[in-house]
Chains A and B, each alone.
Chain A
């Protein structure tokens, strides 16, 4: 079943720049998609249409068969978005308060909020930091807190915008582990990155974007050889002609 259906999607910014141009895309439930592309290729603009942060200039985006612009709140509940800059995503003054922010916006009962926050913190391993102020967390912990904030809203699809940016090796591994565990628990995952090496071993689909269009779409093993044509660095293993290994192995 297609959980996301994008038909002829275009978006122009106020200054007339075309952010994305005529994208058609279907995403199945449970897929793990990596979206690669140079800076400014339209990756983030595409993601922002999935939960109505941007609305199409032309075309439609359907989430679970419902047009996003018709029920934005529902779309934002289904599509959780983890932003590139964790510092600007974290709004709570404590770790607990931040995770509770989303469920409070959904007007849930206090008991249900507490249940969801505890479960989300536990699943990202931040339970012991519940009373900590977010700015005291490390980069990897902040990214995991952003994920917990999204998990507490019980989304079906989670989109990650450059989840590994500014993270060291252990931080990147922690976040990757988290993404994989979310995929294993049944979430549909979309990850945008300009450095596909960190995550491509786990994806079952690779999209490469260029100038606001989907330039390539298919399984990673078929497309990855062409990645560098579009300004996306291919993994070292591919250059050496061997299978790409996971960053977790």
Chain B
């Protein structure tokens, strides 16, 4: 059996679990924009609030860090890119390599912001059923008649459904190749190609089966719409979040 990943919905009874998904999606967008505008002090405040929320919803922060290891590598790369490329007074200088104070500051702020946006999204995903996210996206697309919202909603649903399956396939294929000593080949491109080809082939074969299975269950874009409903607590939450974002931006 596959494991529960960091990107999974976790059942719960917190206020965050009970809020209307459309409001939650709006909050996510609003807070993400606020984070982008935030300076050091504001980032501290947002981080404190986010950690409180994560603890409140019982998000497994420490065990999730393992699943996010590749994201941490990306963050590190972003930091170094900023640190090396931002001009300013030199902090470390060795031959032609210069790391500026401003670069380090910029790197820390950018990584911090990225970090916060990712953990905000994780808080959202772990308290919202995938079907609700799909329904909210479908709802937000109503004003755009030229966008096939039902098709997009189904595509989202399928991505959410099949990501773990593809992840399992990657693990299976990698194990099968390790069992045949792929590690003896030092060329990473050779190894990547040998991994990608069977995965892509299996994914496309799976897609063919999926099409048949969907057709067998009468799939069409003319389907029953999802039901969404808001309550007074959603509006109260909206007021509080908007006030907080305004204050943080004005700091």
A contact set with B: CB distance below 8 Å: 48, 51, 53, 73, 76-77, 80-81, 83, 85, 87-94, 96-97, 101-110, 113, 131, 133-138, 149-150, 153
Alpha-carbon distance A96/B219, docked complex (angstroms):
17
Chain B residues, Cβ within 8 Å of A81:
216
Closest Cβ–Cβ distance, residue A11 to chain B (whole Å): 15
Residue pair B164, A135 in contact (C-beta under 8 Å): yes
- Known contacts: A51-B216, A76-B218, A93-B161. The answer to whether A138 contacts B210 by CB under 8 A is no
Q: Please indicate which of the listed interface residues B157, B158, B218, B219 has the most CB atoms of chain A within 10 Å of its own CB.
A: B218
Chain B residues, Cβ within 8 Å of A138:
1
Write the chain A residue with the least CB distance to B134: A93
B227 at the interface (CB under 8 A from A): yes
Residue pair B218, A102 in contact (C-beta under 8 Å): yes
Residue pair B130, A94 in contact (C-beta under 8 Å): yes
Residue pair A108, B224 in contact (C-beta under 8 Å): yes
Alpha-carbon distance A94/B11, docked complex (angstroms):
12
Q: B131 is contacted by which of A93, A107, A109 (Cβ under 8 Å)?
A: A93
Would you list which residues of chain B between 1 and 43 have a CB under 8 Å from chain A? 1-2, 4, 8-9, 11
Closest Cβ–Cβ distance, residue A146 to chain B (whole Å): 9
Write the chain A residue with the least CB distance to B209: A88
B interface, size bucket: 20 to 34
Residue pair A105, B157 in contact (C-beta under 8 Å): no
Residue pair A97, B218 in contact (C-beta under 8 Å): no
Chain A residues, Cβ within 8 Å of B213:
83, 88-89, 91
Q: A80-B216, A93-B130, A153-B217 are in contact. List 11 more A-B contacts (CB 8 A).
A: A89-B210, A91-B214, A92-B157, A93-B131, A104-B224, A107-B223, A131-B9, A133-B9, A134-B161, A135-B164, A136-B4
B93 at the interface (CB under 8 A from A): no
20 contacts between A and B (CB under 8 A): A51-B216, A76-B215, A77-B218, A80-B216, A87-B165, A88-B206, A88-B209, A88-B210, A91-B213, A93-B160, A94-B9, A96-B131, A104-B223, A104-B224, A105-B218, A106-B218, A107-B222, A133-B8, A135-B164, A150-B217
Write the chain B residue with the least CB distance to A141: B1
Alpha-carbon distance A108/B216, docked complex (angstroms):
17
B168 at the interface (CB under 8 A from A): yes
Alpha-carbon distance A105/B214, docked complex (angstroms):
10
Closest Cβ–Cβ distance, residue A30 to chain B (whole Å): 22
B129 at the interface (CB under 8 A from A): yes
B231 at the interface (CB under 8 A from A): no
Write the chain B residue with the least CB distance to A159: B216
Residue pair B164, A133 in contact (C-beta under 8 Å): yes
Alpha-carbon distance A89/B158, docked complex (angstroms):
11
Q: Please indicate which of the listed interface residues A87, A108, A138, A153 has the most CB atoms of chain B within 10 Å of its own CB.
A: A87
Write the chain A residue with the least CB distance to B157: A93
